Structure 1
Amino acid sequence: MKPIVPHEHGGWALVSVPFLLGMAVGGPTWLHLPLFLAWLFFYLAAYPFRMALARRGNRRDGRRLLRWAFGYWTAGMVFAIPPLVHFPSLLWAGPVLGALLAVNAWYAYRRNERSFVNDVCAILAFSIGGVASYVVGAGTWDAMALWVAGLCVLYFVGSVFFVKTVFRERKNARWLRASKGYHTLLVVALGIVEPLLVLPYAFSAARAFAWGGKAMRPLHVGLIEIAGSVLFLLLSAIVLRVTNLPTL
């Protein structure tokens, strides 16, 4: 039986970039391997679960999707045991993730997964992976965990704006203005806090102005998003390690 896996490049960037950023800033340990596998399987579990909600009229297909979701979730729980044994404080992530994923489930049930609110809730959920990864590496909770999550949220919200302005909202002038305004305010605000923080978002802002509102092939958008995610990851890791950021 063919495994059910997500095909959206954005989802794979969300599941990996915050986690890798947290690991790079906090420092890698052997616990990152089971933690990432747990995180990956939880991500895989969410996909067929949402599909089952969206296709609730087909009971046979729904049962098949839920079996895959349960299998992935079980594997995730097994791999989560070592990190939780060493860092039981990570259990806080469960209720927070549950609340955010409940919102995603509601939008899937309503067949409105492209909602901006739904996208933001998914981004918040995935950014928690960056917090957990940082804590496992650093061995402690501090303000840097929030910087890791916050920078990821800001970057991926910008990605949502950009993708909408080249696909579903390409002819919507308000979305294009919102995208350009968001990236402008983001660069200005971060530049005031710490000038080096502008670097991870330079490509993101340039992309919004250069290609926003233009017709583009999905492949080209995907390549731009991959390049942007890699640049964001590398530059954010460097900036967070070499600067003394204020406590949030």
Structure 2
Amino acid sequence: MATTIPQDRSPATRPRPSGRRKGISPWIPNQHGAWAMLITPAVLGVLAAALGWARTAPGQRSVGDLLTVGLIVFAWFTGYAAFFAFGLVARARTARRRRDYLPPVGVYGALCAAALVGVLLLRPATAVWALPYLPLVAVAVWETHRRRPRSLVSGTSTTLASALLLPVLADVGGWPLTWTGPVAVSGVFLALYFTGTIPFVKTMIRERGNTGFLVGSVLYHLVAVLGLGVPVLAAPGRSWAGLLMAAVLALALARSVWFPLSARRGRGWTARQIGLAEIPLLLLAAATVVLALT
């Protein structure tokens, strides 16, 4: 319903524009879909570290390792908070808004940097993980700077960084990181699953009705199923966890087809409904990783 604005207000009595968008706080990220990709690998990574310590002799576990895991998780969340606020700065249309959005970038960025310095002091070997992380973070920051925070490139870089958190924390827990080991397979699985949510959500919202985008989304999910399922089925010692991972990706494939087609047939889907509908699949994905690590 339209609102009539009185025309006799003087400049002194007109409401002054807010320094930030109504409903958006630069201190509290409001991208609910991103929280699943933040929390899930962090929880699974901490679990992997704990299981790794449980398999080693008690004397091989140190307070430094416990602090390292805590600092990595702290850096993960504060780093994202800084990235979120930076996105608001990049998209701000006025200098005033940019000034209002800058403080959380500095505060969260400083906290993240301090935590990472602590990680390096406690466990210098962790620095090797900067090799894959730096380009992923650089891509996400560049896309945000160019005001393309929701591009496929940006989304893929952030989901890969999310999935990478699992092996990072598992490494601190003493897991042997081999290409065919449970940690690596679980990390690849999470990367495939979370990356697939990006084109799927776009087919439901921003690219709704775009047939070419829908085809691309379905093809991605099909490649993901084959990319993980075929090696699992061909492996002589295939595990139930690996088979369940392939099954989860197959369900994600079915979801990538059914939901957009139901929307085209007239069913209305809100962003909230899409998110709630994804929760069971997310929980199943997390459960398969737990099974693989135990």
Shorter-chain TM-score bucket reads 0.7 to 0.9
Q: Which runs of 4+ in 1 moved over 6 A?
A: none
Alignment partner, residue 11 of structure 1:
34
Quick one: distance in 1 between partners of 2:91 and 2:26? 19
Q: Deviations over 1:188-208 (max 9, x none)?
A: 332221141313324322311
Letter of the structure 2 residue corresponding to residue 230 of structure 1 = L
2:217 is matched with 179
Shift of 1:138: 2.6
Question: Bigger shift: 209-218 or 140-149?
Answer: 140-149
Contact 2:48 2:166 in 1 (8 A): no
TM-score norm. by structure 2 comes to: 0.72
The number of residue pairs the alignment matches comes to 240
Q: Return the letter of the residue paired with 1:50.
A: G
Amino acid paired to 2:108: Y
Structure with more of its chain in helix, by fraction: 1
Structure 2 residue corresponding to 1:37, chosen from 68, 74, 99: 74
Equivalent in the alignment of 1:52: 89
Q: Alpha carbons of 1:227 and 1:201: their partners in 2 closer, same or farther (altered >3 Å)?
A: same
Instruction: Report the secondary structure of 2:289's partner residue.
Output: helix
Question: Structure 1 residue 12: deviation in Å?
Answer: 0.8
- Where in structure 1 are there 5+ consecutive unaligned residues? 243-248
Shift of 1:48: 0.6
| 2:276 aligned with 1:223 | yes
Superposition RMSD in Å? 2.5
Q: Look up the match of 2:60.
A: none
Larger Rg: 2
Match of 2:254 in 1: 206
Kept in 2: contact 1:19–1:129 (CA 8 A): yes
Identity of aligned residues (%): 26
**TM score, norm. by length of structure 1:** 0.84
Q: What secondary structure, in the 3-state scheme, does the structure 2 residue paired with 1:138 have?
A: coil
Output aligned runs, 1:100-111, within 5 Å.
100-111=136-147
Extract unaligned runs of 5+ from structure 2: 1-24, 54-65, 234-242
Contact map agreement 2:44 2:290 (CA 8 A) in 1: yes
**Distance change in 2, residues 1:92/1:158 (3 Å):** same
Task: Report 1 or 2 for greater relative contact order, CA contacts < 8 Å, sequence distance ≥ 6.
Answer: 1
SS for the counterpart of 2:272 is: helix
Shift of 1:171: 0.4
CA contact (8 A) 1:199 1:235 kept: no
